[in-house]
Chains A and B, each alone.
Chain A
Amino acid sequence: MLDIFKDLVNWVSGPTVLFTVTTVGLLLAFRFTAVWSRTSAKVFFVVLAVFYVASMWDPNFFLIVAKPDNIPITGVIFLVFFFTWYAMHQGIENDRRREAGEAPHEKKEGYKVWVWPDLVYTEMLAMVLLSIVLLVWSILLAAPLEQPANPADSPNPSKAPWYFLGLQEMLVYFDPWLAGVVFPTLIIVGLMAIPYIDTNPKGNGYFTFRERKVEIVIFLYGFLILWSLLVISGTFLRGPNWNFFGPYEYWDVHRVEPLLNVNVSDFFWVKLLSQPLPSGGFFAALLREWLGLILVGAYVFVLPVVMSWPREKLPKGFRWLSLRKYYEKMGPARYYIGISLFLMMMSLPIKMYLRWAFNLKYIVAFPEIFFNI
């Protein structure tokens, strides 16, 4: 019984299942907002805590969770859940009040308090309490001082600091220059650009969900699924050789996973046309990659334009793609910047599913100049 449960958890934790389940779950939670109630939060927290504590009896789970380096991730799991729930809960509560014709919670009489003593005092208390937590934490869990780095013997798995593990997870699907350089830059630039793209004034000073649905969904999808989830699974579920290991599995260094990934050019030339890849020089390389180049070009340059068209202009079956409403509301400059950033973000899940479904390695591959997409 226990083994069946463990196997189930191990299976669910696999990147494919976990990613899909959490994505679908999140979208459903946005659809059925009743789940953000106080009761379900309590149930969820209790279940999570029980699962966590009970799992400590499993030696492999304990080994990985109790590693001093990994303690922050346990904190992340609970804190991210709590704050997401809190914001959503308040937002939905306010939405309900607005519907009933009441002002948002934040506008209630007596909600404004003095800076002194209320704010400053509580801040100081927070400082004191946090100091205690940090002190006790650092005394009880001594940071291990390892041996001097030896370039001839990199640890296996070689892991970035926990807050970079989302990026490292991206390396599984993208070339280093994309996952390590372009995407991080775009993430920072994109976050900075949000106030200029999202000019919706609603929600200032109070929580709301309905009035900012799209913004919240996009942000939380990016933050929860494409960032926090990757950090968590990168810490707890990626073992030696960056192989995936379920939370109850032993990290066996010798485990071998089949790894055979092929490029779009291989699909087209070798599989479809049964020909060798064109070789010899610049133009041959372009010829080899023509399909991938067109696909990427279409995604990056054509799709945003197409999506700005009115619904009727799009062929049947693709009309859901139309974002004419936003194009008109935001104006071309904001729209194109916003949609480009959005498409960049979505390229990660797209590439992940392509990998899982077709073993796709690169859409465009120029190993000659280390340029792969």
Chain B
Amino acid sequence: MVRKALGTREVKPGHAHDITRLNLLFAGSSVVLLFSVLWMVWADYSREWKSYQREFFQMERDLTARQMTEAQRAINQNELQRIESELAEANAALAAEQEAIAALEADVTGLDDERTLADITEREIKAVYDSDKFYFEETAARGTPLGRAVSAEDFRALETSFFEARDARIALDFELTEKRAELRDRRSRVTTLAGDRERLTQAVTLAQRKLDSLAVNFPNTFRNLPLVDFIDPSIEVRQVLVRNVTEELNFAQVARIDRCQSCHLGIDNPDYADAPQPFTAHPDLDLYVSRESSHPVDDFGCTACHGGRGRKLSFTGATHTPESVAEEHAWVEEYGWKEDHYWDAPMYPAGLTEAGCIKCHRDQVFLPRAADLNQSRLTYELSGCWGCHNTTGYEDRRNRGPSLTRIDQKLTPEFAARWVRDPKSFRPSTWMPKFWDLENTPDSELQARNDTEVAAITAYLFDRSESTRDYPAPPSGNAGRGEALIAEIGCQGCHLLDETDYDQADIYRRRGPALTGTGAKLDPGFVYEWIREPRHYWDETYMPSLRLTDQEAADITAFLGTLEHPDFATADVPASDAGELDGITFEFLKTTLPDAIATERLAEMSEADKLLFSGERLIRRYGCFGCHEISGFEDAQKIGVDLSTWGSKMVTRLDFGYIDIPHTRHAWLDQKLAAPRSYDRGKVKGPAEKLRMPQFAFTDSDREHVVRSVLGLVRDQFPLEGVKTLTGPEAIAEGARQLIHNYNCRGCHIIDGQGGGIYETLEDAGMRPPDLNTQGRRTQADWLYHFLREPEEVRFWLNVRMPTFEFTPGEANTLVSGFLAMDGGQPFDAEQERIYDRAELRVGASLLDQLQCERCHIAAAAGTMEASQLAPSFRLSGERLTHDWIVEWMLDPQSVTPGTQMPQFWPRDQAGNLITALPDVLEGDPMAQMRAVASYLMNYDR
């Protein structure tokens, strides 16, 4: 066919080819080359992000047009008409003066010409004058320089002419200014009115200007055409250069370049809050991106928090990471997404983004605006991950679990063995993980060995425990009263009473162990001692005293004694198997001894020796001392991988074994937490090589929390300017937050807007411990200090008790100054020393009557009022509260304590002005009225 089309081949002598065919081939290939070049230009030109920008421009046009219509509607038409008519008048008036103005304008033009000439003359002379001055000075100082001498007379003559020329120019300048001022004066009314009109229509003008710049017209289209778009395109890469929050490149810290905004075009514009991706505005512009926020995009970019490859302009290349398989499929469908493994720090999946906070805020125990992260780190801490895995920031913490150096005083060996074997069979919500009968140590194969290991460890613990102490039997109590007490006095802020659906319970309530089955676990004598004075048994415990009376303690003990756990109590006690014990002991002996000597040693050991020997080695293997203080392991090293920089660990360094999951850090972690030993699946391993991480009772969300907190532990190091440094008040607040965290204050109180775990057990809102919002401004430092050390009654109707934590003076001081720092309070307040005006106090007193404040603020229960209607008596106000806070409180009770029953006596009208119901008092000045009430309250008891 082709040959036919090309005609018969005709090779002339001296030629190798048919030239006609070559011509045709050349023509054809030239055309193909041309199209290839055009294709290349197009391929280079057509980019994913450009179409997003085109789409966004359309959205911008629509939005601006809408805004313009709104702005036009918003113009006060009356005002505009007035200005227009006045302007017409003024213009008419100006027209009457037209002749004079024309004359003035002509004058100005003439003068301006003259002035230009005069200026040229002046500058011409000045040039010569400056030069002559140099030669004159040189001549005077050292003789004739460079062969040119300037005499004094010549110089003076030149000087005179220069000054004259200058004078002439200044005179013209002066005259010109005068004339122009006159002209301006005559036009001033018109100018002012025109300015007024412009101000009135400014929004419309701005919108119009924006519309013009976005219009689809020739200049705008042309500048974005291929091959010309390098000059001044409107479709262009938008990037920020982040100098402080750097990334590492070959051991050097280099600035980040984030080009995310090339597609995420509406990220900083609240108008795009509901726009589709990628144009959606950032969901929290108060905290991020915007210039006013604490993380402006110009200083932090995007990848500093989110991770990902900031320079890349394609969806896949920027390393967006899907949150779920469903999302992954959707992305593959929509964007052709695939995993890009050419970037070590891919973007965090949307749900895990708060992991990005840790790299800068690692030292802060609580971030008021990162709710997920706080819970994540709390989960990480409560799970005791850091007991086995060294983690920066957790070095100086008290052991996560209770000390076992006196275990003999608290538990029976049988209970301990059963518990160690499978803690969750006793208490499903416990943080203590399970070590045996897991995937690589199933009871179906290794039951005897598992039992023997548990027996050995238990034997060791009890052998090393301080000697037994018998507790005297507690006085007899009433279990019913005990149950009521536990429900009321605040135990539930830290302890669960009912473990069903424990994963739904507030995490702050999971700080202490659940109380189920206590009767099966502890001796009543111990319980009685413990709840009265927890620190007697263990001086490092965070458990506070609730100032129980002997009777109350006896009642609670009686109730806890009734909490049995029949299944657990009758379960088999793991017992040592002689053969297995020999095997285990031999295994450990063999690690350092030749077989023959190890066999000899084994034969010499008694059964008890073997138990203790193996127990010690097993504790070392499983790392029990990571969470519990155990005699003999005071200096033992943590057994797990250091997690301090785990978030930067190369994915290629993770052993995914035979588990088929996506090769990402978070997927690996999630699997590790869900089934810690699963990476051993299909592997041949001896007992010492097996994975040792135990199984925690993590719920799905717990796992996500732990994953988030570990992912955030990255190696990134920034220059000092990029690191979050706490300001003075922040550092002080941080100290308090650390204590609040340790003592689990959020189990009962809402602090920084979070916490209040116990609220879910107290249905009556009036019976709940207070929200500590504005606490630093609310109370006087002195009162708070004493209250923390020795709580006194503030709200008489509450059954919940503020515990005695036995804060040291240092701790109490830290808490007080921390609250002050959080809320901008002052430790010393001149208000306290103020001598109050008697008249003001009288007004205050009468206002108190008129507003009937003391119907709720009473000193003792009266009538049938509900708890939520009751309020603290004013008796304490003078020593407890601050004057300014009382005003703040009355001004807007809901903003201080959301949900409070306190009425807002001085509401605001639509314009935001305060209204008073008592226009006769203090000239109807609401602020003065509130101040009077506050002053009176400060002197209530005097």
Contact = CB atoms under 8 A, between A and B. Distances in A.
Contacts of A145: 342
A144 interface: yes
A125 interface: yes
B199 interface: no
Contact of A144 (B22, B36, B342): B342
B8 interface: no
Interface in A93-116: 110, 112-114
Nearest to B312: A145
B33 interface: yes
Contacts of A110: 13-14
Interface stretch (A8-16, A24-32, A150-158): A150-158
Given A110-B13, A114-B15, A125-B29, A135 B652 contact: no
Contacts of B344: 147, 150, 153
Contacts of A156: 652
A139 interface: yes
Contact of A128 (B15, B33, B652): B33
Contact of A139 (B16, B33, B40, B343): B40
A136 B22 contact: no
A124 B30 CA distance: 11
A146 interface: yes
Nearest to B650: A153
Contact of B249 (A125, A132, A148): A148
Contact of A135 (B17, B30, B40): B40
Interface in B1-33: 13-17, 19, 22, 25-26, 29-30, 32-33
A149 interface: yes
A140 to B, nearest CB: 9
B592 interface: no
A204 to B, nearest CB: 21
B22 A122 contact: yes
Given A114-B15, A128-B29, A135-B37, A151 B250 contact: yes
Interface string B249-268: 11100000000000000000
Given A118-B16, A128-B26, A146 B342 contact: yes
A147 B29 contact: no
B250 A149 contact: yes
A121 interface: yes
A124 B26 contact: yes
Nearest to B248: A150
A139 B15 contact: no
A294 interface: no
Tell which of B29, B249, B251 has the most Cβ of chain A within 10 Å: B29
Nearest to B22: A121
B760 to A, nearest CB: 47
Interface in B299-325: 309
B43 interface: yes
B668 to A, nearest CB: 14
Interface in B48-69: none
A40 interface: no
B783 interface: no
A147 B26 contact: no
B44 to A, nearest CB: 9
A131 B36 contact: yes
Interface string A34-64: 0000000000000000000000000000000
A305 to B, nearest CB: 51
A135 B250 contact: no
A117 interface: yes
B538 to A, nearest CB: 44
A17 interface: no
A148 B250 contact: yes
Given A135-B40, A147-B344, A117 B30 contact: no
A110 B309 CA distance: 63
B39 interface: yes
Nearest to B35: A132
Nearest to B656: A254
A253 interface: yes
A135 B13 contact: no
Interface string A150-172: 11010010000000000000000
Nearest to B30: A128
A186 interface: no
A63 to B, nearest CB: 13
A156 to B, nearest CB: 7
Contacts of A139: 36, 39-40, 43
B15 A129 contact: no
Contacts of A148: 249-250
A131 B33 contact: yes
Nearest to A240: B652
Nearest to B247: A148
A135 B342 contact: no
B31 to A, nearest CB: 10
Contacts of B16: 113, 118, 122
Contact of A118 (B17, B251, B309): B17
Contacts of B33: 128, 131-132, 135
Contact of A132 (B19, B29, B251, B342): B29
Interface in B670-688: none
A177 to B, nearest CB: 26
Given A132-B33, A153-B652, A121 B26 contact: yes
B32 A132 contact: yes
Given A131-B33, A139-B40, A113 B250 contact: no
A241 B50 CA distance: 42
A311 B14 CA distance: 53
A149 B249 CA distance: 8
Nearest to A118: B16
B311 to A, nearest CB: 9
A124 B13 CA distance: 21
B621 to A, nearest CB: 25
Interface in A319-356: none
Nearest to A140: B43
Interface string B371-408: 00000000000000000000000000000000000000
A132 to B, nearest CB: 5
Given A118-B17, A139-B39, A147-B342, A125 B26 contact: yes
A122 B39 contact: no
A136 B26 CA distance: 18
A147 B311 CA distance: 11
Contacts of B25: 125
A11 to B, nearest CB: 25
A20 B272 CA distance: 68
A139 B15 CA distance: 37
B29 A129 contact: yes
A151 B252 CA distance: 12
Nearest to B17: A118
Contacts of B32: 132
Interface in B204-252: 249-251
Tell which of A112, A129, A139, A147 has the most Cβ of chain B within 10 Å: A147
A141 to B, nearest CB: 12
Interface string B639-680: 000000000001010010000000000000000000000000
B649 to A, nearest CB: 10
A153 B345 CA distance: 13
Nearest to B345: A147
Nearest to A121: B22
A113 B14 contact: yes
Contacts of B14: 110, 112-114
Contact of B17 (A122, A131, A253): A122
18 contacts: A112-B14, A113-B14, A113-B15, A121-B19, A121-B22, A122-B22, A125-B26, A125-B29, A132-B29, A132-B32, A132-B36, A135-B37, A135-B40, A136-B36, A136-B39, A148-B250, A150-B250, A153-B650
Given A132-B32, A139-B39, 5 more contacts: A110-B14, A113-B14, A117-B22, A145-B342, A147-B309
10 shortest interchain CB distances as A-B pairs: A146-B342, A113-B16, A135-B36, A128-B29, A139-B43, A147-B342, A118-B16, A148-B249, A132-B36, A147-B343
